[in-house]
Structure 1
Amino acid sequence: MIGLLCLDLGTSSAKTALFDLEGRRLAGASAPYPTLSTSDGGVEQEPEDWIRAARTVIARSTPPGVDIEALCLTGQMQDLILEGDHGAARPAIIYSDQRAAREAREIREDLAHKSIDWDAHCGNRQDATSCAAMFRRLARTDPDAIDRTRALTFGPAGHLAHRLGAGAWCDPTTASALGLLDAAARAWSPDVVRAAGIDPGLLPTLTSGPGQVVGSTNADARELIGLDAGVPIVLAPGDAGTATIGVTGLDTDRDHVSLGTSGWIAGIHRHEEGPDTTGGSPDGPSQHEASHHLALGDGQLRISAVLSAGAAAAWAREAFLRGMGSFIADQRLEHRAHEHGRGPTGLLFVPALAGERYPVRDDGMRAALMGLDARMDAVDLYAGVLEGVAFALSHALKDTSSRMETGAQKSVDTTAPMTVVGGGAASAPWRRILADVFDRPIHLPRGAGASSEAEAQLEATLIGAAIAGAEAVRLDHRITPLAEREGEVLFPDSSAAAAYAELRPAHRALYDAAARIGTMGR
């Protein structure tokens, strides 16, 4: 039997899945690794911990009698790994590290002297988490490690491929998040590379397509991760890309929604449409058509991410429903809908409990709840919070529809079901709210809502890595994304959808007031 071994080296653990060419999951495992956080905002991991975890999960996922056709790698993006002669030259700096704020300002100023807007040039908002800024900081604080560096990689997947003898590679999805890529040219930016102080010879080669065979496992593979030499290595897109492929495949203009701790609308769109990364004034929030623009195949992955989705629902259950579990809370929502029918609660909630990324980007913004009525009870408040998350996400759909209607591209089919994944997808009342707010049918793939948020995301990411790997190796396969699988579809109620549509502009306007409130006391 032929199998594709998919490995996701994520933020906190390594996960594997072994798929056959019919898309059946034959085996899988996970193993954690630690993260070191420091008081000055540092976040680091030891690459050797990634290797040990990979070896553990691969041993649990390779039953006898299965020929591994390819090792398909994906994982967390926007990390800085300095590759030395024998492994990493120092611990990896992880994407959430905040220590390079000074260096980010310096790079921005250096580029401004050349009339280059760093955000627009790279296609995404840049800050202390940019790998360009991280490297410039290391050049100042740890020059010995820079001297020991022979190549750079930007995620655990790239590091493992390098350790297995494939050389230094980076997929374009990951590269788009680094602050080093010229978004228009889809190539490393000489100007940013120079401003960061990086020797261009250290930069990895960019892959092409949604996945590429970058080499084969070397003679060290058996000791490193327990695989024989000669297994093709496919570098799939970073986890944001593979998760999208795992939900909707490689089709363009087919958005999906995720309801995890955070939430997002994501989809692959045609690359001809340039990203809008214009920001507001330095004193106020900046508005974006999406919070992230990432290269993916021949298209562009647009992600409109709301920082608090499931986190907002969990907060509301604790604050309003005395810590009630989600299952009982859903029963209360079903009873409310039976009494009042479908439609708006009358509340407008901005779910910015800890800053926001979309529809505005403002780390200082805080949540707002408007429209309280003395007749409302705790379940009304909880329903209003779920509506607020749905409204926040719906602004991305409105932006997408407007772009497609005014451009020459194919129009988004607003009658097609939109697939939902993540832990929050298990809530039927919340899915009905999404259907009415989006005015779109909502599709829950079978089994996707029954698992935890982490398991649902894991499934999509590993399925996406399998699809990317099978395509890269040119296998005849029947591995299908979640959107093409059977499941439950909830349809919008026309009167409820119309009522929500009338409220959407007011919800969007509430962000301006919430932003001003968020500045108080700073």
Structure 2
Amino acid sequence: MRGTLGVDVGTSSTKGVLVAEDGTILASTTRAHTVDRPRPGWVEMDAGIWWDEFRSIAQELIATVPDTEIVAVGVSGMGPCVLLTDADDLPVRPAILYGVDTRSTAQIARMTAELGVDEITRVGGSVLTSQAAGAKIAWVAEEEPEAWARATRLFMPASWLAHRLTGAYVLDHQSASQTSPLYDIENERWHAPWWQRYAERLEPPRLTWAGDIAGEVTAEAAAATGIPPGTPVITGTIDAWTEAVSVGAHESGDLMLMYGTTMFLIATGEQTLRTPSMWTTAGAFAGTRNLAGGLSTSGALTAWLKDLTDADYPQLLAEAEASGPGARGLLMLPYFAGERTPIQDPDARGVIAGLTLEHTRGDLYRAALEATALGVRHNVETMRAAGADIRRIVAVGGGTQGRLWLQIVSDVTGLVQEVPATTIGASYGAAFLAADAVGAPGAQPAIGDWNPIAERITPDPVLRDLYDALFDRYVRLYEGSKQVVHELAAVHRGA
């Protein structure tokens, strides 16, 4: 039997799948991990964990289905992250994670002042935010000169795995387009003047597309993983984009909505749309562009409430369903880790309004689910105002296993969501890209055959007025509490 291996490094776990040529999952496994938060606003991870977990996963999957001939390997990972390595390919410091890490505020302000918002947007598509990997590179250069003096290369989780497997030094265009302001989105290349200004010590990685073959598994990597030497490995890309591939939500007019530790949205089109409150990026494939957004918390918020209340998810979901629409007068802002889009406010914080002594943990959990749904609606409305043509919405990720959360998002947004048969995530998309890369011309697999749509979630029209009013309050609550919340964020940083 022939198959492909797909591995994705996420925020809270690394997942792997072994997939047959027809898309059937032969085996899957997960390795849980945690990120480090050494200071307020910092979110880091030891990159050694990525390779160790990849090796362990590959060995387990191969042992589980030993008669499978692995014909290609797909890699994927959270991002945009900044992993800097020295001349011996050893990390000079822990990897700095994506927009949930907000340490580069000063660099964003300085770079924006030096280059100008209009020019940054013209070259890269987006204004600089906590998602901008280029600003985090500048942070290392300014704040950790000893580490910077040893840095020679830039990696992200997917490209690090590809490098450890093949020796190739590559980065996909999609990830590169989030290394703002170092990438020229219209010409699909590094922007040399700004690379030299802010990353002069680093060798620019060779740019390829996510599904391109980066190289072949080396003898050393084969010994470490059990994958046969010479097996092709794709370049890979950021997990949200790989997840969109896993469900076929990467065509013009598609919106992928990913339910995970954070919530992510990707609208795909052919034109470069620019708006200061969202992220403009290259697509996973040549000729496509994305308008993307992300909530800093979603699953992370529900997990926080689970741990805080010492209840399990089935209990909380049952109690939230009993609470009913509107959570009995509670309204929550889900900004417990700052917020990314569309408010782009790293100093935003969580707010729970309307609490009384009569409210229960079920009300709180319902309010948390509604808060993430209100955040999704805020992003979708901002995308459409920027010109995004959203004709089809596909829901993916671990959160799709809970029907209540899906229904609340559809009710709050008024949108129909399509749920595919397989929602295992980016590891499945990575396996598909690998299969596509080695498929015979004209005989590549189709994701619609691998992963057909299994369910459609439709909004309840009876709840439209209730959630329209709640959304209005949601927007006004942020504006009304922003000044006090920013003052409290400053106190938290000082503490």
Compute the TM-score of the two structures, normalised by the length of structure 1. 0.78
Q: Which residue of 2 aligns with 1:270?
A: 269
Equivalent residues in 2 for 1:283-362 (5 A)? Answer: 288=277, 290=278, 293-297=281-285, 298-313=287-302, 323-335=310-322, 347-362=330-345
Q: Tell which structure's C-alpha radius of gyration is larger.
A: 1
Residue 399 in structure 1 maps to residue 382 in structure 2:
yes
Q: Which residue of 1 aligns with 2:404?
A: 429
Q: Distance in 1 between matches of 2:398 and 2:263?
A: 10
Q: Which residue of 1 aligns with 2:161?
A: 160
Q: Distance in 2 between matches of 1:269 and 1:258?
A: 14
The 1:503–1:129 alpha-carbon spacing in structure 2 relative to 1, beyond 3 Å, is closer
Which structure 2 residue ranges, 5 or more long, are not aligned?
Answer: 491-495
Q: Which residue of 2 aligns with 1:501?
A: 468
Moved more, 188-197 or 296-305: 296-305
Q: Which residue of 1 aligns with 2:435?
A: 470
The 1:87–1:327 alpha-carbon spacing in structure 2 relative to 1, beyond 3 Å, is same
Please state whether the residue corresponding to 2:371 is helix, strand or coil: helix
* Superposition deviation, residue 127 in structure 1: 5.5
Q: Distance in 1 between matches of 2:140 and 2:366?
A: 47
Q: Which residue of 1 aligns with 2:350?
A: 367
Q: Distance in 2 between matches of 1:520 and 1:45?
A: 29
Residue 111 in structure 1 maps to residue 121 in structure 2:
no
* Superposition deviation, residue 24 in structure 1: 1.0
Compute the TM-score of the two structures, normalised by the length of structure 2. 0.81
Residue 189 in structure 1 maps to residue 188 in structure 2:
no
Equivalent residues in 2 for 1:78-97 (5 A)? Answer: 78-84=80-86, 86-88=88-90, 90-95=92-97
Could you tell me whether the CA contact under 8 Å between 2:215 and 2:233 is conserved in 1? Answer: yes
* Superposition deviation, residue 23 in structure 1: 0.4
Q: Which residue of 1 aligns with 2:493?
A: none
Percent of aligned positions with the same letter in both sequences? 23
The 1:165–1:369 alpha-carbon spacing in structure 2 relative to 1, beyond 3 Å, is closer
Could you tell me whether the CA contact under 8 Å between 1:7 and 1:14 is conserved in 2? Answer: yes
Could you tell me whether the CA contact under 8 Å between 1:330 and 1:428 is conserved in 2? Answer: no
Could you tell me whether the CA contact under 8 Å between 1:466 and 1:479 is conserved in 2? Answer: no
Q: Which residue of 1 aligns with 2:54?
A: 54
* Superposition deviation, residue 243 in structure 1: 1.6
The 1:379–1:169 alpha-carbon spacing in structure 2 relative to 1, beyond 3 Å, is closer
Could you tell me whether the CA contact under 8 Å between 1:21 and 1:479 is conserved in 2? Answer: no
1:311-369 Cα shifts (integer Å, max 9, x gaps)? 444566788xx5544323433444455xxxx7896654332233222331212223345
Could you tell me whether the CA contact under 8 Å between 1:365 and 1:514 is conserved in 2? Answer: no
* Superposition deviation, residue 193 in structure 1: 0.8
Q: Which residue of 1 aligns with 2:370?
A: 387
1:198-242 Cα shifts (integer Å, max 9, x gaps)? 157x1011113x410122223333234333322112112221210
Q: Which residue of 1 aligns with 2:76?
A: 74
Indicate the structure whose relative CO is greater, using CA pairs within 8 Å and at least 6 residues apart: 2
Q: Distance in 1 between matches of 2:187 and 2:259?
A: 33
Opposite residue 115 of structure 2, the aligned amino acid is L
Q: Distance in 2 between matches of 1:196 and 1:81?
A: 16
Moved more, 420-429 or 186-195: 420-429
Which structure 1 residue ranges, 5 or more long, are not aligned?
Answer: 278-287, 449-458
1:104-144 Cα shifts (integer Å, max 9, x gaps)? 555444434xx864466433443577543444455567777
Could you tell me whether the CA contact under 8 Å between 1:364 and 1:519 is conserved in 2? Answer: yes
Moved more, 81-90 or 33-42: 33-42
Q: Distance in 1 between matches of 2:484 and 2:19?
A: 50
Opposite residue 68 of structure 2, the aligned amino acid is V
Residue 519 in structure 1 maps to residue 494 in structure 2:
no
Could you tell me whether the CA contact under 8 Å between 1:51 and 1:225 is conserved in 2? Answer: no
1:371-404 Cα shifts (integer Å, max 9, x gaps)? 6799977655654443332222112222344455
Residue 487 in structure 1 maps to residue 454 in structure 2:
yes
Could you tell me whether the CA contact under 8 Å between 1:343 and 1:495 is conserved in 2? Answer: no
Could you tell me whether the CA contact under 8 Å between 1:248 and 1:483 is conserved in 2? Answer: no
The 1:516–1:123 alpha-carbon spacing in structure 2 relative to 1, beyond 3 Å, is same
* Superposition deviation, residue 257 in structure 1: 2.7
Q: Distance in 2 between matches of 1:359 and 1:60?
A: 41
Could you tell me whether the CA contact under 8 Å between 2:17 and 2:427 is conserved in 1? Answer: yes
Opposite residue 267 of structure 1, the aligned amino acid is I
Which one of 414, 435, 440 corresponds to residue 439 of structure 1?
414
* Superposition deviation, residue 14 in structure 1: 4.1
* Superposition deviation, residue 191 in structure 1: 2.6
Equivalent residues in 2 for 1:108-147 (5 A)? Answer: 108-112=112-116, 117-118=119-120, 121-126=123-128, 130-136=132-138, 138-139=140-141
1:243-290 Cα shifts (integer Å, max 9, x gaps)? 2212344222222333334323x234224132212xxxxxxxxxx1x3
1:10-46 Cα shifts (integer Å, max 9, x gaps)? 4465432111111011223344678666559776655
Residue 170 in structure 1 maps to residue 157 in structure 2:
no
Could you tell me whether the CA contact under 8 Å between 1:103 and 1:128 is conserved in 2? Answer: no
Could you tell me whether the CA contact under 8 Å between 2:125 and 2:279 is conserved in 1? Answer: no
1:418-470 Cα shifts (integer Å, max 9, x gaps)? 4434444344333332222222234444575xxxxxxxxxx210111122222
Moved more, 229-238 or 2-11: 2-11
Opposite residue 332 of structure 2, the aligned amino acid is F
Could you tell me whether the CA contact under 8 Å between 1:78 and 1:95 is conserved in 2? Answer: yes
